[in-house]
Amino acid sequence: MDQLSRNDIIAVFVRVGIGAAVAFYSLKWFMNQMDPTIQSKKRARTKAEFQIKRITETDKSLKIDISTLSDYELVIASHLVVPEDINVSWADIAGLDSVIQELRENVVLPIRHRHLYSSSQLWKAPSGVLLHGPPGCGKTLIAKATAKEADMRFINLDIAMLTDKWYGESQKLASAVFSLATKLQPCIIFIDEIDSFLRSRSSHDHEATAMMKTQFMMLWDGLATTPGATIIVMGATNRPKDLDRAILRRMPAQFVIGAPDTEQRRKILQLVLETESVASDVDLNRLAKLAVNFSGSDLRELCRNASVARLREFVRVNDGTTSDARLENTTKLDRPPPPISMQHLLDSFGKMKESKMHTGMLGEHRIDLD
């Protein structure tokens, strides 16, 4: 009788356990289905698996089993960029020769030639690199080119993906950044607008945000004690004073990417226009002197607008119309468009100058087109 009673009790506990397990997984399934980001997570997982597979096929020495990666690491891996997909090199950056040379000596050489001084504690790349300067001056381009030249994997870290509605998930995602980078090394973790994430801490910070910053910095510091770790956290900002002092300490290699001077602007214009058909009357020296306070991206946009104006003018003459709506329907032209002229560039410059003056981005310089 006692034995039967014990069996009955065990059976009750088994049934209760099974019921609880079914209820738990049913609730978990229901919550997942209610998650508005479930589709984006599925797409991220698919993309991550594809990128990891490409890396392991290209580099046979890299042993990564996708099945061993956590869900958090797969989320981070969806933002992974392999060197083959980076279409920027040092040759695509003009006017920043001194910065490029320093990056080559401080970052690229210690990574590509680690075998030269394998026992040295000093012959290694810095754990943190900060690129700071005005917007549009090439900070992101330099980060990509560095990864390309050093043949490093590139995690383009989107800060938004580190935030999660569930308490504690952000810390797990932050941890996954470094655990994945360790498996993929050599690897660059790039954070654009790093001041928006790792700004100076204060008592007004939300608890979850403060914990995520602390977790990120603790893991970052751990890189220095990991033997042979080749991971670089690279950040770009135009507000370096807003960064926490603890972050600045972790980024010993700091490079100022300032606004280009006249000679640098001329080199940028020359690089942008080298693949274009340009008229003989184009004077890059004059244009470079006019474009005071123009960044590299501004100069590229100036040339793009001039090219569009050239094509618009040609289509109107060829079609005999002045309607912009007709331009979209033009499918056949009997001759190639004319080259970009100095007047096209000056007209484009005049429009951009006016726009910059209205937005207060031009400064107090007076510029005369004549």
Residues 123 and 188 in one domain: yes
283: left (phi over 0), alpha (psi -120 to 50) or beta: beta
In a domain, 175, yes or no: yes
Residues 28 and 161 in one domain: no
Specify the pLDDT at position 199: 77
Residues 44 and 136 in one domain: yes
In a domain, 365, yes or no: no
In a domain, 366, yes or no: no
Residue that has been written with the tokens 């891996």 in this structure: 77
Specify the pLDDT at position 259: 87
Residues 55 and 152 in one domain: yes
CB proximity list for 124: less than 8 A, separation 6 or greater: 110, 114, 230
In a domain, 364, yes or no: no
Q: Which domain holds residue 289?
A: 262-359
Specify the pLDDT at position 245: 87
Residues 222 and 84 in one domain: yes
What one-letter code names the amino acid at 104? Answer: R
Nearest CA to 339 out of 311, 299, 305 is that of 311
For residue 320, the domain's CATH number is 1.10.8.60
Specify the pLDDT at position 266: 93
Residues 152 and 301 in one domain: no
Specify the pLDDT at position 111: 82
Specify the pLDDT at position 365: 42
Residues 229 and 316 in one domain: no
Residues 14 and 49 in one domain: no
HSE-up of residue 89 (Cα within 13 Å, Cβ side): 5
CA distance 187 to 233: 9
In a domain, 223, yes or no: yes
Specify the pLDDT at position 367: 40
* Domains held by the chain: number: 3
CA distance 353 to 350: 5
Specify the pLDDT at position 370: 40
Specify the pLDDT at position 369: 40
In a domain, 367, yes or no: no
Residues 227 and 296 in one domain: no
Specify the pLDDT at position 90: 85
CB 266 within 8 A of CB 288: yes
CA distance 329 to 321: 12
CA distance 211 to 165: 14
Kindly give the confidence (pLDDT) of every residue in the chain, 370 residues in length, as a single tens digit, with 9 standing for 90 and above: 455 566 666 666 667 777 777 777 677 666 665 655 566 667 777 888 888 888 877 777 777 777 778 878 888 888 888 777 888 888 888 888 888 899 888 888 888 877 776 677 777 788 889 999 888 888 888 888 888 888 888 888 877 777 666 666 777 888 888 888 888 888 888 888 888 888 777 766 666 677 777 888 888 877 655 666 788 899 999 888 888 888 888 888 899 988 889 999 999 999 999 988 899 999 999 999 999 889 888 999 999 999 998 888 877 766 655 455 555 555 555 667 788 999 999 999 998 888 777 665 555 444 444 4
CA distance 209 to 190: 19
Specify the pLDDT at position 318: 66
Specify the pLDDT at position 146: 87
In a domain, 92, yes or no: yes
- Provide the b/e sequence for 64-99 (b: ≥16 CB within 10 Å): beeeebeebbbbbbbbbbbbeebebebeebbbbeeb
Tokens at 153, concatenated: 């994997």
CA distance 60 to 25: 39
Strands 80-81 and 153-156: antiparallel
